[in-house]
Amino acid sequence: MKKIILLFLLGMWFSLNAQIDRDQLALDISKADAANNEQLKSFIWKRHSVTKVEDQEKLTTITEFSFNEKGELQAKMIDANTTVKQKPGIRGAIQKNAIEENLDYVQKALELSIAYTFMSKGQLIDFFSKAEITEKDGIIEATAKDVNVKGDKLTIQVESATKLFLNKKFSSFLGQDPVDGVFEYTKFSSGVSHGSKSVLNLPSKKAVINSENKDYSQRVQ
């Protein structure tokens, strides 16, 4: 009886995976993503980020995003503020260097997260070619390891009907430091999908970065 049950479960597993054409799925999702990004290129928006260390707010940054003429995503920090009070003299100079180093670390962590947010057609095809894929209740979920760097992991949730992203979760490394994050997507009334909120955890710094994309505006044609 146990052997029959095992064979039945194996058969179900192979049947489920056989129903999913990985290459076609990757092409469909990359096509939907490309079409969506084409519409997103007309927008300029700002990412507001708050960094907390041991649950104490330490840094706020505002970064402006837009696509250039080549269709490449551009990021420019336009504001940064810290709640840390400046110390006088040499201690103040040391403190200033530490603040600048931490600001640089936060920016690099945010840049790392963008690599999982915006993926090329080739990256998506590679991801889905090795991912474990399931589909339930109108949501496709795929998980794969060694996506951008050895040892990282990415889980993507996609809306079955539109093939647009709903959610992404990743764990990766900034140098030798572990980093993990979650991204949420939402849509404008027009149906254009965009990243809405994200949370990045930086355990080595005992820090958490909460970000929200807002102030979307369309360029004047």
Q: Which residues of the chain have pLDDT under 70?
A: 1-19, 83-102, 220-221
Residue 9 located in a structural domain:
no
Q: Is residue 152 in some structural domain?
A: yes
pTM for this prediction: 0.80
- pLDDT score, position 192: 94
CA distance 92 to 164: 48
- Looking up residue 133, the CATH number of its domain turns out to be 2.50.20
> Residue 14: inside a domain, yes or no?
no
Q: Which two tokens stand for residue 38?
A: 């084409």
Residue 2 counted as domain residue? no
57 located within any domain: yes
With respect to residue 8, please indicate whether it lies within any of the assigned structural domains: no
Enumerate residues 6+ apart whose C-beta is below 8 A from 41: 67, 71
Structural domain boundaries enclosing 205: 21-214
Residue 165 in any domain: the answer is: yes
Residue 94 covered by a domain:
yes
Q: Is 152 exposed, middle or buried (0-12, 13-18, 19+ CB in 10 A)?
A: buried
Total domain count, the chain: 1
Please write the tens of the pLDDT for every residue from 114-131: 899 888 889 999 999 999
